[in-house]
């Protein structure tokens, strides 16, 4: 007879089995708890309890993602996290840790909320995949012609675009940033009890004067800048310089007048009211201003070009280089003087005010700059620079009136910041090396984009140095313009560039 002998599992084997089963139960419990925790911390209530944005909840409930005809509510995590399976957990951990740090250690009164409304910040916390996950059909039958044109541009563009380039306010409503509507109040005339100026300023000698726009109460100051020779550009050892700022060259300039401050909204609005074209006017070719009796001015802009910050003496913004140039032509005609945009050489000479240092005041760009990991943790000392320049760390992410700053040695305000400023020159990164013109240089003979100078309220300290250069980006700055063809008068995607004017001085006056 055969016997089958069954051996009882050893104590070690039983322990391993129970350990395995316990591990499975613990993993299941952790997985279940983790899913519940993830879901609980992704609710709107949870987001609002940690985020201390003073406007987020209210502006969300006013937006089309909450307040719409269908009654559909788009929740916080649906926009501010990617879809599940598309990096959801990694993004949630990254944003969660950052927000928790801010909640525990940051003073909410010092957070720049205006800056967080801007497109460049929003791109970091709104996921394109989430937009497309909900909005699969980009060409519904209810889409407007402008919307169809914009979506067609989006699908065919070789450059990366984001939905929020056009739809920045769909999640958090902002009445001042409604893009696809004309600003019906833009051209409203401000009345005054004082009689208008009968004629422009009469200038008989080379000194500061106040220009008066005939038929209005609008005036602005022009500062006499003596001619002279200076070293244009930045030397190789200047901290944080860019290659297109050199080589340093000697430039001689004739005397001129330049605006004490940037062209204000009050001044630009006068031009708009006198020359503006009605909505829908199409100007597909740039007119030759010398061959027309009257100047055709801007069409009404889309949305609020002042961004809701106010007009008045604040610098005018969002107009194109072409519009600024036409403004100078108009100003020349109504005053009988020779107004134009400054050349790049004239701009830097006026900004330096006779100084040879990186700024027209004391300081090292490396000490003032906020770029770099450590500088983000330890805020640079802004005491000196903030009294001279409206830039990234002192602006509150918007423009300021010229009265808020001290002047440079020539008596000019906001040369180095507030808004960057158009120059008349075409831009070329290597122009300094190839140009041999030593007297009154005018820049390259041809080009695609124009020079802008001075940095802006969005700039780091390194970009408001006297020699810092930049240039227009016409295609990029017209991405969200819903018109076809694009406007020649207004940039839809550039809110920090303006301009100031130069007035040429006749030889008879200078002598």
pLDDT digits (tens, 9 = 90+) for 438-456: 899 999 999 999 999 999 9
Q: Per the structure, how many domains does the chain have?
A: 2
420-426/497-498 β-pairing: parallel
Last-in-domain residue among 150, 173, 196: 173
pLDDT band at 109 (very low <50, low <70, confident <90, very high): low
Minimum mean pLDDT range among 14-18, 65-69, 252-256, 457-461? 14-18
pLDDT above 60: residue 26: yes
Interatomic CA distance for residues 45 and 289, integer angstroms: 59
Task: List C-alpha distances in Å: 484 to 145, 217, 281, 487, 491.
Answer: 10, 37, 12, 8, 14
pLDDT at residue number 182: 54
Whether 276 and 145 map to the same domain: the answer is no
| 20 in Cβ contact with 28 (< 8 Å) | no
Answer whether residue 346 is part of any domain.
Answer: yes
Cα three-residue angle 307-309-312, rounded to 5 degrees:
115
DSSP state, 315?
B
Q: What is the domain extent for residue 68?
A: 54-173
Q: Which CATH number belongs to the domain containing residue 351 in this structure?
A: 3.90.1580.10
The reported pLDDT for the residue numbered 290 is 43
- Please determine, for residue 126, whether its predicted confidence score (pLDDT) is greater than 50: yes
Backbone φ and ψ of 414, nearest 5°: 60, 25
Question: Rounded CA gap, 134 and 377, in Å?
Answer: 37
Mean pLDDT for 110-126 is: 76
Give the range with max mean pLDDT: 30-34, 140-144, 407-411. Answer: 407-411
287 vs 190, more confident: 190
Q: What is the pLDDT of residue 288?
A: 43
182 inside domain: no
Mean pLDDT of the chain: 84
pLDDT mean over 276-293: 47
| In the predicted structure, residue 236 carries a pLDDT above the cut 90 | yes
The verdict on residue 138 lying in a domain is: yes
**Residues 72-76: what's their mean pLDDT?**
86
396-412: per-residue pLDDT in tens? 889 999 887 889 999 99
How far, in Å, are 63, 115, 477 from residue 244 at the CA level? 44, 29, 22
Whether residue 450 sits in one domain with residue 316 = yes
Q: For 247, phi and psi rounded to 5 degrees?
A: -75, 155
From CA 206, how far away is CA 226, in angstroms rounded? 9
| Domain stops at, among 173, 190, 223 | 173
Q: Which of 419, 385, 421, 390 is nearest to 403 (CA)?
A: 390
The verdict on residue 48 lying in a domain is: no
167 vs 321 pLDDT, higher one = 321
Give the residue, 45 or 466, on which the prediction is more confident.
466
363 & 485 share domain: yes
Cβ-in-10-Å burial (0-12, 13-18, 19+) of 370 comes to: middle
Q: What is the pLDDT of residue 286?
A: 37
Indicate if 262 and 134 belong to the same structural domain. no
Residue 505 lies in a domain: yes
Distance (Å, whole) CA 90 – CA 307: 35
**For residue 83, what are the contacts with CB-CB under 8 A and spacing of at least 6?**
127, 129, 130, 133
The pLDDT-based confidence of 419 (bands split at 50, 70, 90) is very high
Query: 212-234 burial, b if ≥16 CB within 10 A, otherwise e?
Result: bbeebbbebbbbbbeeeebebbb
CATH number at residue 90: 1.10.3820
In 308-345, which positions are buried (b, 16+ CB within 10 angstroms) versus exposed (e)? ebebebbbbbbbbbbbbbbbbebbbebbebebbbbbbb
Q: What is the pLDDT of residue 292?
A: 37
- Alpha-carbon distance of 53 to 170, in angstroms, equals 17
**What distance, in Å, lies between the first and last C-alpha atoms of the chain?**
135
Q: Per-residue pLDDT for 345 more than 80?
A: yes
Dihedral over Cα of 178, 474, 454, 245: its sign: positive
Question: In the prediction, which pLDDT does 293 show?
Answer: 45
Question: Within this chain, do residues 409 and 279 fall inside the same structural domain, yes or no?
Answer: yes
Is 418 in the same domain as 483?
Answer: yes
Specify whether 82 is located in the same domain as 218: no
- Report the C-alpha gap between 327 and 340 in whole angstroms: 9
Residue 239 confidence (pLDDT) above 70: yes
Does the N-terminal peptide bond of residue 42 adopt cis geometry, omega within 30 degrees of 0?
no
The alpha carbon of 265 is separated from its chain's Cα centroid by a whole number of angstroms, namely 17
Angle, CA 462 vertex, CA 456 and CA 415 arms, to 5°: 40
The answer to whether residue 5 sits within a structural domain is no
Say yes or no: 387 and 461 in one domain.
Answer: yes
Query: Are 421 and 500 members of one domain?
Result: yes
Report if pTM > 0.75. yes
Domain boundary among 115, 145, 173: 173
């Amino acid at each position: 007879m055969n016997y089958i002998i069954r051996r009882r599992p050893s104590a070690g084997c039983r322990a391993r089995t129970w350990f395995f089963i316990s591990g499975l139960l613990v993993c299941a419990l952790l997985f279940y708890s983790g899913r519940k925790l993830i879901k609980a911390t992704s609710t709107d209530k949870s987001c609002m309890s940690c985020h201390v944005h003073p406007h987020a909840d209210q502006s969300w409930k006013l937006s089309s993602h909450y307040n719409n005809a269908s009654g559909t509510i788009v929740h916080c995590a649906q926009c501010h996290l990617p879809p599940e399976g598309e990096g959801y957990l990694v993004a949630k951990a990254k944003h969660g840790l950052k927000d928790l740090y801010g909640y525990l250690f940051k003073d909410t009164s010092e957070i720049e909320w205006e800056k967080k409304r801007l497109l460049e910040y929003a791109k970091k916390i709104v996921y394109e995949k989430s937009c497309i996950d909900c909005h699969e059909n980009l060409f519904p039958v209810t889409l407007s012609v402008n919307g169809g044109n914009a979506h067609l541009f989006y699908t065919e563009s070789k450059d990366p675009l984001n939905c929020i380039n056009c739809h920045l306010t769909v999640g958090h409503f902002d009445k001042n940033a409604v893009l696809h509507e004309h600003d019906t109040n833009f051209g409203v005339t401000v009345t005054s009890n004082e009689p208008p100026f009968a004629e422009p300023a009469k200038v008989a000698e080379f000194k500061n004067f106040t220009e008066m726009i005939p038929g209005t109460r609008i005036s602005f100051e022009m500062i006499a800048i003596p001619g002279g020779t200076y070293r244009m550009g930045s030397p190789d050892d200047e901290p944080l310089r860019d290659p297109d700022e050199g080589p340093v060259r000697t430039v001689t300039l004739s005397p001129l007048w330049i605006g004490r401050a940037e062209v204000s909204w009050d001044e630009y609005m006068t031009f708009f009211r006198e020359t503006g074209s009605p909505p829908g006017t199409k100007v597909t070719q740039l007119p030759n201003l010398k061959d027309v009796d009257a100047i055709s001015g801007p069409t009404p802009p889309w949305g609020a070009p002042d961004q809701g910050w106010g007009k008045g003496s604040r610098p005018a913004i969002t107009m194109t280089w072409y519009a600024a140039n036409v403004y100078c032509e108009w100003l020349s005609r109504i005053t009988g003087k020779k107004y134009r945009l400054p050349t790049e050489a004239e701009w830097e000479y006026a900004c330096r005010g006779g100084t040879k240092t990186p700024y027209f005041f004391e300081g090292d760009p490396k000490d003032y700059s906020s770029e770099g990991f450590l500088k983000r943790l330890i805020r640079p000392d802004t005491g000196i620079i903030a009294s001279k320049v409206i830039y990234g760390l002192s602006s509150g992410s918007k423009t300021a009136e010229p009265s808020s700053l001290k002047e440079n040695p020539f008596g000019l305000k906001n040369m180095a910041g507030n808004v960057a400023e158009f120059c008349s020159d075409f831009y070329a990164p290597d122009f300094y090396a190839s140009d041999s013109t030593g007297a009154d240089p005018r820049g390259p003979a041809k080009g695609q984009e124009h020079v802008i100078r001075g940095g802006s309220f969005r700039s780091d300290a390194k970009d408001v140095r006297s020699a810092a250069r930049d240039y227009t980006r016409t295609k990029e700055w017209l991405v969200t313009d819903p018109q076809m063809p694009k406007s020649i008068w207004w940039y839809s995607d550039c809110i920090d560039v303006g301009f100031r004017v130069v007035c040429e001085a006749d030889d008879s006056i200078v002598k």
